[in-house]
Amino acid sequence: MVSTEPTTHDAIVVGAGFAGLYAVHVLRDRRHMQVIGFDAAGDVGGTWYWNRYPGARVDIESVHYSYSFDDELQQEWHWTERFPAQAEILSYLEHVADRYDLRRSFRFNTRVVSLTWDDTDAMWTATTSAGTTHRARFVISGAGTLSVPKEPEFPGVEDFAGEVLMTGNWPHHEVSFEGKRVGIIGVGSSGIQAISEIAKTAGHLTVLQRTPNYATPIGNYPTRPDEEAAEKADYRAIRDASRNHFLGVPYSEVQPSALAVSPEERRRVFDDRWNRGGFRLFIDSFGDILFDKAANDTVASYIRERIRERVHDPAKAELLAPEGYPYGTKRPPLETDYYEAYNRPNVDLVDVKGNPIAAVTPTGVRLADGTEHDFDMLILATGFDACTGPLLAMNITGRGGLRLADHWADGPQTYLGLMAAGFPNLFMITGPQSPSVLYNMPLAIEDHVDFTVAALDHLRERGLDVIEPEPSAEAAWVAHTNELAEATLLPDSPTSWYMGNNIPGKPRRVLVYLGGAPAYRAKCDEVVAAGYEGFTLSSASRVFA
């Protein structure tokens, strides 16, 4: 049968997570563009499709971590918990897909394997894993920031006789841990969430920990009807407050400096934020903890103290209490009863920092000193090739055959974290060097998609069809994002996906914009007000200054 599906489109959208769904809705339903979307997954959901390991949960209250673009949607949806689990967020995205009839614009189980710009007619060509080819003037990537799991770096992993599971690509079938000897590598956010749950049913759980983390309580609870009603009555103000906050949440109690207050007042603030949960300790306690080592030391030692209170075995407590790097320079995990898991008789903690994992064997894991740990199941919670990985995985080639991989050989180069010089009409939603993961993601996504759509409107109104950053504007943005990072403690982290150095061989460069969402939005507004300053706008054949 010959396919009658068009292969030339106005826009190609990559991904059916928060970004791709919103992009398709706006471009197709509000701008009446002919749009096609692709996702490697079997359905919508993005992050929340893949990361379905036990305990997977959002770390920002979902009344905030949700779309704001349609008041009816935010009024009608009911979250059952303050910080819902993966299944509920996936249901929400499925509801969004149904509500706006979005699935019909997507091809699922279809990965974009290359994207190539053609200078002669100013069109992108996408090839897909389904063997199809599609052309479009514009590409909107909603490929995600944490969607390419880190390759297992343990020799022998393919020879393990039991099951190997990855938190970032968890099976869809029910996984039972009953009576099994389970090993888990990694104590980032994913590992910490998974350990807390798996410990409850595993026959035996062994946690292989390299760097202990500063995990703090999430403070989850079932939705309180009065709180929900009050929020829905004032949703617009809450969204405005969120957009005007560094992290995109309406927290408003940050004090300037941990060093400017008495030890008693500091303790009071830390206790209060610890007890109230979320990212309050990190972002709504003292404004200098990410910038001043002495200020950071106060919160780091507070967290260590709280960890030691919760873990009964002093030897385990010592291993779990992080030392030697500042709090917040690795993405701070949030937890429920994580430290208490180590008080269970079926949970062991093994330090693999001094004695690293040498290999996976058919029966388990062998450490450098020859010690063997036998498992029936091995779980890799070892993280992601963050921010740049999802874009580089698409084999993108821009003007004059310039490969994105070469352009970014020394780290990402973008203008506003949204576009790269030499890659016209390619919009990277929550791309590297934008606030992305340091800004409540659904709002960061809406802002980026809205910026993109406004730029397309601007082009169309002027009879133009190509937009790209000037190399000088890109260079200035890269320098600016690096300077912002240098002013923080982030470069002091031993390994952090914020800095790209969790992946062997990846350039150590900051991957997020650290000036905060309000400063970023102000900069974007300035660029637009100045007629898309720093961008070159052109028609397919003629370049306008």
Query: Residue 70 interacts with ligand NA7 (CB under 6 A)?
Result: no
Query: Residue 279 interacts with ligand NA7 (CB under 6 A)?
Result: no
Sequence letter at residue 518: P
Task: List the structure tokens of 342.
Answer: 């180590």
Considering only residues 488 through 517, tell me which ones interact with ligand NA7, judged by CB under 6 A: 495, 497, 502
Considering only residues 384 through 403, tell me which ones interact with ligand NA7, judged by CB under 6 A: 384
Q: How many residues appear in the chain?
A: 545
Query: Residue 382 interacts with ligand NA7 (CB under 6 A)?
Result: yes
Q: Is 114 left (phi over 0), alpha (psi -120 to 50) or beta?
A: beta
Sequence letter at residue 545: A
Which residue's CB is nearer to ligand NA7, number 135 or number 210? 210
Candidates 147, 190, 425, 436; binder of ligand NA7 (CB under 6 A) is 190
Which of these ranges, 88-96, 184-192, 249-257, 523-531, lies near ligand NA7 under the rule CB under 6 A? 184-192
Candidates 146, 198, 445, 467; binder of ligand NA7 (CB under 6 A) is 146
Considering only residues 409 through 438, tell me which ones interact with ligand NA7, judged by CB under 6 A: 437
How many residues bind ligand NA7, per CB under 6 A? 23
- Phi and psi at 85, nearest 5°, equal -80, 170
Sequence-distant (6+) residues with CB within 8 A of 318 are: none
Q: Minimal distance in Å, beta carbon 385 to ligand NA7?
A: 10
d(CA 196, CA 179): 17
Candidates 186, 328, 435, 500; binder of ligand NA7 (CB under 6 A) is 186
Which residue's CB is nearer to ligand NA7, number 61 or number 474? 61
Query: Residue 331 interacts with ligand NA7 (CB under 6 A)?
Result: yes
* Rounded to 5°, angle at Cα 493 from 492 and 497: 135
**Cβ atoms within 10 A of the Cβ of 489, count?**
19
Which residue's CB is nearer to ligand NA7, number 139 or number 392? 392
Task: List the structure tokens of 110.
Answer: 């279809």
Q: Minimal distance in Å, beta carbon 333 to ligand NA7?
A: 7
- Cα 81 to Cα 31, 63, 192: the distances in Å are 35, 10, 19
Q: Minimal distance in Å, beta carbon 381 to ligand NA7?
A: 5
Considering only residues 191 through 220, tell me which ones interact with ligand NA7, judged by CB under 6 A: 191, 210-211
| C-beta of residue 25 within 8 angstroms of C-beta of residue 103 | no
- Sequential DSSP letters for 247-262: TSS-----BS-TTSS-
Q: Minimal distance in Å, beta carbon 189 to ligand NA7?
A: 4
Collapsing DSSP states into helix, strand and coil, what is residue 483? helix
Which residue's CB is nearer to ligand NA7, number 100 or number 327? 327
Which residue has the closest beta carbon to ligand NA7?
Answer: 188
Q: Minimal distance in Å, beta carbon 430 to ligand NA7?
A: 12
Q: Minimal distance in Å, beta carbon 482 to ligand NA7?
A: 21
Question: How far from the centroid of its chain's Cα atoms is residue 104's Cα?
Answer: 26
Could you tell me which residues are beta bridge partners of residue 403?
A: 397
d(CA 449, CA 56): 26
Which of these ranges, 246-254, 272-280, 378-386, 484-492, lies near ligand NA7 under the rule CB under 6 A? 378-386
Q: Minimal distance in Å, beta carbon 391 to ligand NA7?
A: 17
| C-beta of residue 77 within 8 angstroms of C-beta of residue 214 | no
| C-beta of residue 537 within 8 angstroms of C-beta of residue 459 | yes
Query: Residue 182 interacts with ligand NA7 (CB under 6 A)?
Result: no
d(CA 241, CA 40): 35
| C-beta of residue 210 within 8 angstroms of C-beta of residue 352 | yes
Q: Minimal distance in Å, beta carbon 494 to ligand NA7?
A: 7
Q: Minimal distance in Å, beta carbon 192 to ligand NA7?
A: 7
List interacting residues with ligand NA7 (CB under 6 A): 146, 153, 167, 185-191, 210-211, 331, 352, 357, 381-384, 437, 495, 497, 502
